[in-house]
Amino acid sequence: MNLTITFFLSMLIALVGVIPPGLLNMTAAKISIKEGYSRGLMFSIGVCVIVIIQTLIAVIFARYLSMHPEIVQILQRVAFVIFVLITIYFLLLAKQEPKQKIEEPRKSKHSQFFYGMLLSILNVFPIPYQAYMSITLASLGWLTFDNISIGTYVAGAGTGTFVMLYMYVFFFKRIKSQKIKSQKNMNYIIGVITGIISIVTLFNILKA
């Protein structure tokens, strides 16, 4: 598989994972508003360091699972149900912006970096998410589990996460000032994306 394609697929997958407003991206946005862009970026870099490690663990785990297809089949069925539920949520239920708690400001850039690492450690979602997505890409022939491809995939995931956090850091004020309709549109877009993933997952289950 072309390494450039692997990189951009991983980057896109990571972007999708960080698009929904959550603890990490909303904290990065708030830090940038209260303490400046540089501290928001330091927080984001701390997050990405842990995401890179989590993605590496996930892909290595996926490589192990790829040698045990019976386990993969079970995980595909579980993932299919999860993605269907997520799709239904974003298409039908996610109508309002979530209320966000106000975070206490941190003192220095270094503390923001380690704060980002800490919050990212507490967020274990990237491990099962990246493990499943890498298995799916491998089943489609879009990813191989050699060391170079794994390194490229991990680099793409770190880059995609940073790009989305960067957008929250620098553009959150504009995003926040938009009408609620823009948030609804984002929810629908996410719902469509997870719906496509659900269809691909179902196709893989039926093909197995």
DSSP 99-150: P-PPPPPPS-HHHHHHHHHHHHHH--THHHHHHHHHHHHHHTTS---SHHHH
Q: Which amino acid makes up residue 149?
A: S
Examine residue 88 and state whether it is found in any structural domain, yes or no: no
Would 197 be classed as within a structural domain? no
Task: Supply the pLDDT for residue 186.
Answer: 62
* Cα within 13 Å of Cα(204), Cβ side: 25
Indicate whether 12 belongs to any domain.
Answer: yes
Examine residue 198 and state whether it is found in any structural domain, yes or no: no
For residue 105, what pLDDT is reported? 47
Q: Is residue 108 part of a domain?
A: yes
**Per-residue confidence in pLDDT tens, the chain, 208 aa:** 588 999 999 999 998 888 766 778 888 888 888 888 899 999 999 999 999 999 999 999 989 888 877 777 777 787 778 778 877 877 775 555 555 444 454 456 678 999 999 999 988 888 888 988 898 888 888 899 999 999 999 999 999 999 999 988 888 766 555 544 455 666 676 677 777 777 877 887 777 6
Q: In this predicted structure, what is the pLDDT of residue 95?
A: 55
Residue 122 lies in a domain: yes
Q: From the CB of residue 148, how many other CB atoms can be counted at a distance below 10 Å?
A: 10
Model pLDDT, residue 165 = 93
36 occurs within a structural domain:
yes
State residue 179's pLDDT score. Answer: 44
**pLDDT score at 102:** 42
| Domain hosting residue 158, numbered range | 3-75+99-176
3 state DSSP class of 52 = helix
pLDDT of residue 89: 74
Q: State the pTM of this model.
A: 0.75
State the angle between helix axes of 109-122 and 23-35 in degrees (0 to 180), rounded to the nearest 10.
170
Over the range 72-82, which residues count as b (16 or more CB within 10 Å of their CB) and which as e?
A: beebbeebbeb
Q: How many structural domains comprise the chain?
A: 1
**Token reading at 2:** 């072309």
Question: Do the domain assignments include residue 120?
Answer: yes
DSSP character string of 157-190: HHHHHHHHHHHHHHHHHHHHHS-HHHHHHHHHHH
| pLDDT at residue 74, rounded to an integer | 77
